[in-house]
Amino acid sequence: MENENIRENENLNPEETETENVVVPEEISAETVEGAIEETIEEMTLEDEEVSSDEDIIGEEWQVEDAPIAVELTEEELAAIREAKKKRTAKVLIISGIVALFVALCAAFYCYSEGVGSKTAIDTPMQVSELYLTGMNDNVKFQSPLTTIFKTMLGKEKDAVMTINGKAVDEDIFSYITNMLGLNSVSSLIQTGMLTSIENFKWDMPEYTTGLSYLEYAKGLGLNSLIPIYSLVADGEKHGIALTEEEEKKIRDGIEELKAQYGENFELALKQNGFDSEETMFEVQKIDALAEKTSKDVQADISKYVSTDEIIKNEAQEKVTVKHILIAFDSDMTGDVTDEMKDTAKKTAEEVLAKVKKGEDFDKLVEKYNQDPGATDEGYTFAADGSMVKAFEDASFALKVGETSELVATSYGYHIIKRIERKVSMQDYMEYIMSTSKVKIKKGKFNDTGITINLEDYFGAPAE
């Protein structure tokens, strides 16, 4: 058949055309047959229709470059091919399953070691910013290792111990705050007489109020103190708050002045104050400056950052804002109150209340008669949490916006209370950003953070 010309589109008849019939001996394995068939199919081009099943191979005619070849397989041979395919598929599935199981076990171990799924990062001692940290435990979690790997590959957050609202906290800053708060704990022990010699102190000793080691306690305090600062800075950056070149230069100049002041002892001074480098001091001061700048911008117009409705919706407890006029029993606050003083105060309070009921301007009456030295133009905003005297609290929450109370007696005197439209303060804003903060901790970096300060530099060597 080497010299035959095959005309294009010619119908070939196996009986009339010189062909080679491929007959597979019985002793040839199914795998060999399968291989031969697949090799043949790869070299052939189906002339009229596709092969849709093994049976289509039987008796079909194929167009090749030099000659038509017909492949004929028996049912037994096809069955052998099918069986071989099943075995091969089973092997692939078994191997894939083993690989998948191994990967899953490795991932499970890695996730466990990184704390994935843990509700909170650590049992943080909520004492440093108690007011702002209500409910924060639910928002403090370990960062997923997959996220860590992905961001590391992208060159992001390489040196971060954690992120607070997406703002990275580098390990040198976290180390600094841990060192300083750890030092404060030791200093407090010495001042209260609970520690007589630093020779008897170890960082793995249990802290007496929490049971955490003093190292972990310092980390917890560090975390607590960083959350409000970085939450504020992160929010400020979203609103375009940044330090100018002049502001950064001012920080640099201040550090240069310290270098000149300490001379060759500057590096030692850095270490004694918890800084591992001059750059760490710069970054710490930069964060402080950003927080201060953002705070001023928020106080100038809180609504630019968050609406009053959003703050109220997010609060765990309802709050009221009130103004009041206090007619004190003892205007001099000497503490000695007589019945005569009470009678005099009540008479004055009734006169002022009459003016209020006549519709006189409440703010002007506050300005003229109020004897509360702690009152502000914004009034008091508070929840029913015991932060105010019970009678004052109850009367305030009983009022509707715009309503004024009757005389309310407390240990201070007689109050005339007016509930006003809710005002949000800087404290309300801080509580809001704290309760909505998302803290993701890299467990490995967090665990590796230690105390680097030398206690002897502060408290002297123990006595011989």
Neighbours of 349 (CB within 10 A): 23
Per-residue pLDDT, 20: 44
Burial grade of 242 (CB within 10 A; 0-12, 13-18, 19 or more): exposed
Helix and strand element counts for the chain (H, E): 15, 11
Per-residue pLDDT, 6: 36
Tokens of 347: 């008479």
Question: Tell me: the pLDDT tens digits for 71-108?
Answer: 567 778 777 778 888 888 878 888 888 888 887 776 66
Question: Do 302 and 347 touch, CB atoms closer than 8 A?
Answer: no
| Helix/strand/coil for 165 | coil
Neighbours of 441 (CB within 10 A): 27
**Using CA atoms, how far apart are residues 434 and 134, in angstroms rounded to an integer?**
8
Q: What is the DSSP secondary structure assignment for residue 213, as one 8-state letter?
A: B
Question: Tell me: the pLDDT tens digits for 43-69?
Answer: 554 444 444 444 444 444 444 444 445
Mean pLDDT of the chain: 79
137 pLDDT band, cuts 50/70/90, is low
Per-residue pLDDT, 69: 52
Does the structure show a pLDDT above 80 at 131? no
Q: CA triplet 446, 449, 453: central angle to 5 degrees? A: 155
Distance separating the N- and C-terminal Cα atoms of the chain:
109
Per-residue pLDDT, 2: 42
* Closest by Cα among 337, 333, 342 to 371: 333
Per-residue pLDDT, 54: 45
Tokens of 102: 């191994």
184-193, 203-212, 327-336, 347-356: range with lowest mean pLDDT: 327-336
Question: Tell me: the pLDDT tens digits for 248-284?
Answer: 999 999 999 999 999 999 998 888 888 889 999 999 9
Does the structure show a pLDDT above 60 at 336? yes
Domains belonging to the chain, first-starting first, are: 1-114 (no CATH), 136-309+435-459 (no CATH), 317-429 (3.10.50.40)
Per-residue pLDDT, 446: 86
Q: What is the mean pLDDT of residues 293-308?
A: 94
**Using CA atoms, how far apart are residues 168 and 148, in angstroms rounded to an integer?**
12
pTM of the model: 0.64
17-21, 158-162, 408-412: range with lowest mean pLDDT: 17-21
| Helix/strand/coil for 92 | helix
**Using CA atoms, how far apart are residues 262 and 259, in angstroms rounded to an integer?**
5
Tokens of 145: 């290792």
Q: Name the most confidently modeled range: 159-163, 292-296, 309-313.
A: 292-296
**Using CA atoms, how far apart are residues 162 and 124, in angstroms rounded to an integer?**
15
**Using CA atoms, how far apart are residues 181 and 354, in angstroms rounded to an integer?**
55
Q: 215 vs 201, 206, 222, CA distance in Å? A: 12, 9, 11
Alpha helical stretches, state H, 385-442: 390-398, 426-435
* Closest by Cα among 455, 449, 456 to 177: 449
Q: Name the most confidently modeled range: 31-45, 245-259, 440-454.
A: 245-259
